[in-house]
A and B are shown apart, each in its own frame.
Chain A
Amino acid sequence: MSLFLAQVLKVVVIFAGLVSAAGVSTLAERKVSAWIQLRLGPNRVGPFGVLQPLADGIKFFFKEEFIPQGATRWLFLLAPMLAAIPAMMTVAVIPFTGVIATVDGTPIYGSIADIDIGAIYVMAISGLGVYGIILGGWASNSKYSLLGGLRASAQMISYELSMILVILSIVAMSGTMNLREITDQQNANSLLGFLPAWNVFYQPLGFVLFVICTFAETNRHPFDFAECESELVGGFHTEYSSMKFALFFIGEYCAMIVMSCLTTTLFLGGAAVPFWAEAPWFVGLAAFVVKAAFFMFLFIWVRWSLPRFRYDQLMALGWKVFLPLALANVFVTGLVLSL
């Protein structure tokens, strides 16, 4: 019974944490962009503008719902849900911290579901997020939306390949797809006696490839061709308003958060605190949040620093540079492992 309660509690806490983190990220996006551009950013609602996401949410609820003429109505309504749900589902296997407690001899892990196919589960479910974008773009019956949806589908397929190949190298090194075991292995020993044995030191190329692929996978700058306001008005969400528009945004930010968490898990030892092996679970959780927050900051930092690519450059980069590099990475990893 208490096991069941603990499970329900974990689901509620992690889900609420994800959604509120998405809200905080929208504020962080505006604050950091203001900081980079020497502005103040939103500072009217609450102290230092911290209540701005709440005000935004209320505003979205009271905006007019609008469905364009000629739109395929049920798909138009379904698309925002399809965009938000996969991003929220993937968080289930992320091990946020080590063992929290032991109930009746069963350890309670820091993830909602401790499954053996964690790594492949994340890729399978997060790949479904693109349906929301494609269908939203198609159902809107608008040329800008359609082009945005088309671009999203081509882009996601291209970069998912490299991403999965990088994960394959990690899985080959660890010998498991369970994300908790992958983090545990990174913390089991040390590198050269002083560095933690994180995968980022073993797979530097894989790390760089993976981080860049997460940008393409979440449709973020400099790869945000699904939106691309300078050529496509708003891309796939041109025709969306009110909470449906907000759902696309929540989905995008949730996907960014999950990808940050996944990078932390695969490459930075998850909840490990360097030089403190027996850290209690809440310290581990804090360490995890700090590491993931860095990648969230990176998403925003890059957005406000780099110009957008051209679309053909994006596809050429994905197929002619990233895919061969990721394949070579898998090959070298296999070679080293078999020696």
Chain B
Amino acid sequence: MANLLFYLVSLGAVVGALGVVAARNPVVSVLSLLGTFFCLATIYLLAGFEFLAAAQILVYAGAIMVLFLFVIMLLNLGGQERPLMDHTLAMSRRLPLVVLVGVALAAVSFFAVARSGEAQAAAEAAPLQVDTLGGLAQMVFGTYLLPFELSSVLLLAAAIAVLVLAKRERGEAGR
């Protein structure tokens, strides 16, 4: 039963991800991504990570995707549907980069699958206990406090940098 559900939502996640890039309408792309996030949250739930599943829905589906929709509607991108393959030309120039990223991703997935037995053995030897809320908090705010806080500072810096860049561009265009 759980296995069947797993394969079903995995299929859903892949179909949703394909929909994001294949959809002609940006709003449909966002909805496909939303579907993918839900399928991922279900997979987390099946794996026993309740908090991760709820956080996934709360943060990605509840806030970030709403923001995406907001921007799309504000810029009225939904008005004109983009033709299916209008970026073929642009793609061809970036083809080496696309292939490189694709190969790298495939390699990472391959190694992850190949070494999954090892990881399972390690997990059984020393359980991390991230499946309970207290265990997760222990990891995030205890063992890995510094890396966790540093990564959040990094995100903040990136957000501010984007703001500064966008502001400057608009200022120059206005002049």
Q: Give A123 to B63 CA distance when docked, in angstroms.
A: 11
Mark out the residues of chain B between 31 and 79 whose CB falls within 8 Å of any chain A CB in the assembled complex.
Answer: 31, 34, 50-51, 54-55, 57-58, 61-63, 66-67, 69-70, 73-74, 78
Q: Give A293 to B49 CA distance when docked, in angstroms.
A: 35
The answer to whether B27 has its CB under 8 Å from any CB of chain A is yes
Q: A134 contacts which of B57, B58, B73, B132 (Cβ < 8 Å)? A: B73
Known: A138-B73, A146-B73, A157-B66. A124 touches B54 (CB 8 A): yes
Query: What's the least CB distance linking A18 to chain B, in Å?
Result: 21
Known: A134-B69, A134-B73. A116 touches B133 (CB 8 A): yes
The answer to whether A130 has its CB under 8 Å from any CB of chain B is yes
Interface size on B, residues (CB 8 A): 22
Q: B73 contacts which of A120, A150, A157 (Cβ < 8 Å)? A: A150
Chain A residue numbers with a CB within 8 Å of B50 are 115-117
Query: What's the least CB distance linking B112 to chain A, in Å?
Result: 27
The answer to whether A154 has its CB under 8 Å from any CB of chain B is yes
Chain B residue numbers with a CB within 8 Å of A116 are 50, 132-133
Q: Give A150 to B73 CA distance when docked, in angstroms.
A: 7
Q: Give A143 to B19 CA distance when docked, in angstroms.
A: 27
Q: Give A146 to B74 CA distance when docked, in angstroms.
A: 9
Interface size on A, residues (CB 8 A): 28
Mark out the residues of chain A between 145 and 168 whose CB falls within 8 Å of any chain B CB in the assembled complex.
Answer: 146, 149-150, 153-154, 156-157, 160, 164
Mark out the residues of chain A between 100 and 155 whose CB falls within 8 Å of any chain B CB in the assembled complex.
Answer: 115-117, 120-121, 123-125, 127-128, 130-131, 134-135, 137-138, 146, 149-150, 153-154
- In the complex, are the beta carbons of A150 and B70 less than 8 A apart? yes
Q: Chain B at the A interface: mostly helix, strand, loop or mixed?
A: helix
Q: B69 contacts which of A120, A128, A153, A160 (Cβ < 8 Å)? A: A153
Chain A: CB-nearest residue to B41: A124
Which residue among B27, B66, B69, B132 has the maximum number of chain A CB atoms within 10 Å of its CB? Answer: B66
- In the complex, are the beta carbons of B63 and A153 less than 8 A apart? no
Known: A115-B50, A124-B62, A134-B73. A157 touches B133 (CB 8 A): no
Q: Give A137 to B74 CA distance when docked, in angstroms.
A: 12
The answer to whether A177 has its CB under 8 Å from any CB of chain B is yes
Q: A127 contacts which of B62, B69, B73, B78 (Cβ < 8 Å)? A: B62
- In the complex, are the beta carbons of B58 and A124 less than 8 A apart? yes
The answer to whether A75 has its CB under 8 Å from any CB of chain B is yes
Chain B residue numbers with a CB within 8 Å of A123 are 58, 62
- In the complex, are the beta carbons of B58 and A127 less than 8 A apart? yes
- In the complex, are the beta carbons of B57 and A124 less than 8 A apart? yes
Q: Give A123 to B55 CA distance when docked, in angstroms.
A: 10
- In the complex, are the beta carbons of B54 and A120 less than 8 A apart? yes
Chain B residue numbers with a CB within 8 Å of A150 are 70, 73-74
Q: Give A199 to B12 CA distance when docked, in angstroms.
A: 42
Chain B residue numbers with a CB within 8 Å of A120 are 51, 54-55, 58
Query: What's the least CB distance linking B73 to chain A, in Å?
Result: 6
A–B pairs, 13, beta carbons within 8 Å: A75-B27, A123-B62, A127-B58, A127-B62, A127-B63, A128-B61, A137-B73, A138-B73, A138-B78, A149-B73, A153-B66, A153-B67, A160-B63
